[in-house]
A and B are shown apart, each in its own frame.
Chain A
Amino acid sequence: MARPKRPNVPVVIDGHEVMAYPDDTVLSVAKRNGIRIPHLCALDGVSVYGGCRLCVVDVAERHKLMPACGTAVAEDMEVHTQSRTLQEHRKLILEMILAEGNHVCAVCVSNGACELQDLAVELGVDHVRPDYQFPRRTVDASHPKYTFDPNRCVLCTRCVRTCSEVEGAHVWDVAGRANGSYLIADLGQPWGEAPSCTWCGKCVAVCPTGALAWKGKAVGEMRHDPNLVAFLTSARDEGEWLDRETM
C-alpha cells in the first residue's frame, strides 16, 4: 500500500493533534512530531518486536495499555504517553532490565554512549529496587572483529532482527526461555565459528548497549549507529546511498 503524499490520519497525542500516515504506529507518528516516547527494542527499519514494554501508552477506549511501537494509528485515536502510572511502570521495567544483567557501566565500552544508560537518566532511575540477579555469563570474543558480552545484553533482539531481515544471514537468535533466555549465534557455537556470519557489523551497529562491540574498543570508546538500518532499508528504495555522511 503506497503512502499518501501527506499524512492524513488525525491522532491526538498528549493533547496535541498530529497527522499520521495510515501505516504509522503510535511510536512512529510521535517520533516524527517530536513527541518522545521512551523505547528500547523498537528500531526503525526492522520488524516490530514489542518486548521491552517501555513504550506502553494509554489509548482511549482500550482497556489495556498498548505498546506504542506495535499499535497502528486510527482516526481520532487519543493517546496519553506520560501519565504518572506510565512513568512508574517504565521506571520499574527499566530497573528490572538493569537488575537482570550485569551492567557495570564503569568498565563498559559503551559508557557514556549507551541507550540503556540514557534511559535510566530519562526515567529517573537512580537506583534499582529489585534484587540484582548477578547472572553468570561468559563473554564471546571468538569473532575476529567483534565481541559479544552477554552480561550487557537486554534481549531486545535488535541484532536478531537486523541480521535476519536486513543482512539476511540470521546468525543470531534467542535460545532458552524465561529468565534463562540467551542469545546464540547460529546453532549455539562461538560467534567466530558461526559460518553464516558475513562480518557485516550491522548487529554491532544497532545494539543499544555495550553487548555487541568492535574489538579493541576500551571503556567508553564504542559508538553504535542504530539509525544505520533505517537508512539501509529506505535507501534501497530511495536511492540515497551517496548522501550518507557517516559510512
Chain B
Amino acid sequence: MRRTNSAPSRPRIATIWLGGCSGCHMSFVDLDEWLFELRRHADIVYGPLVDRKDFPEDVDAVLVEGSVTNTDNLELAHQLRARSKVVISFGDCAVTGNVTALRNLVGEPGEMVYRVYAEHPDRDGQMPSEVIPDLLPQALPLHHVVPVDLFLPGCPPPAPRIRDALTSLLGIDDTPHGIRFG
C-alpha cells in the first residue's frame, strides 16, 4: 500500500460491522493463523475484535461488513469514509445489500417491522419493546451511500479471498483466489 504520509508507521487496518449477520467477520476469523501473519504487517485498530468505542482517525484500510440499513449505520459510513484511505465493501451485504436488503421488498420500514414482529406466529402479535435504531427507508449497499474503493463480494467472502485483498493491499506476496457473489 502506498502511504501518503512520510512517517514509516505500520498500516492501520480497521473492520466494522454495519447491517450484517457477522458472517463476514466469522470468515475473517477463519483466516486462523494467517491473522498472526497479518499482525506482523499491520495494526488492527478498530472492529468487533478490538476493544475500542470510536472509529479512529487515520485508518489505512477498513473492511466494512453489512449494508447501510439504519441511521447509526449511515453516520458510521460517513465517518469511516472520512477517516479511512481505502474503504473495502466486505461481503455481499455491503456490496449488494444481499439478505439484509430483502426487507426492501416488504415495504416501508414500519410495514416491514410490523410484518416481521407482529405477524410472526411465535411472537403473539407483540412488537419489540426495546428501542430499535431508526431504520432508513431502504437497506443500501455501502457504495450507494459513500464512495468505495474495493469490493469483496461473497456471502461470506471465503477467508482466502479476504487474504488476497489484504495481501495485495499491503504488498504481501501470496497467490490469488477468485471472486464471486454468493
Contact B179 A121 (CB under 8 A): yes
Note all chain A residues with C-beta closer than 8 A to B178: 121
Nearest chain A CB to B94's CB is how many angstroms away? 9
Within 8 A of A (CB), among B52-77: none
Which B residues fall within an 8 A CB radius of A? Answer: 89, 92, 95-99, 101-102, 104-105, 107, 138, 140-141, 143-144, 148, 151-153, 155, 178-182
Question: With A127-B143, A132-B101 given, is the CB distance from A105 to B92 under 8 Å?
Answer: yes
Question: With A121-B179, A134-B105 given, is the CB distance from A128 to B141 under 8 Å?
Answer: yes
Contact A104 B102 (CB under 8 A): yes
Which A residues fall within an 8 A CB radius of B? Answer: 98, 102-108, 111-112, 117, 120-121, 126-129, 131-132, 134-137, 151
Contact A117 B95 (CB under 8 A): no
Note all chain B residues with C-beta closer than 8 A to A131: 144
Note all chain B residues with C-beta closer than 8 A to A98: 96
Q: Determine chain A's interface SS by DSSP, over half rule.
A: loop
Note all chain A residues with C-beta closer than 8 A to B98: 104-106
Contact B155 A136 (CB under 8 A): no
Nearest chain B CB to A218's CB is how many angstroms away? 14
Note all chain A residues with C-beta closer than 8 A to B96: 98, 103-104, 127-128, 132
Interface centre among A98, A121, A134 (most CB of B within 10 A): A134
A102 touches which one: B95, B102, B138 (CB < 8 A)? B102
The CA-CA distance from A27 to B112 in the complex, in Å, is: 46
Note all chain B residues with C-beta closer than 8 A to A105: 92, 98, 155, 181-182
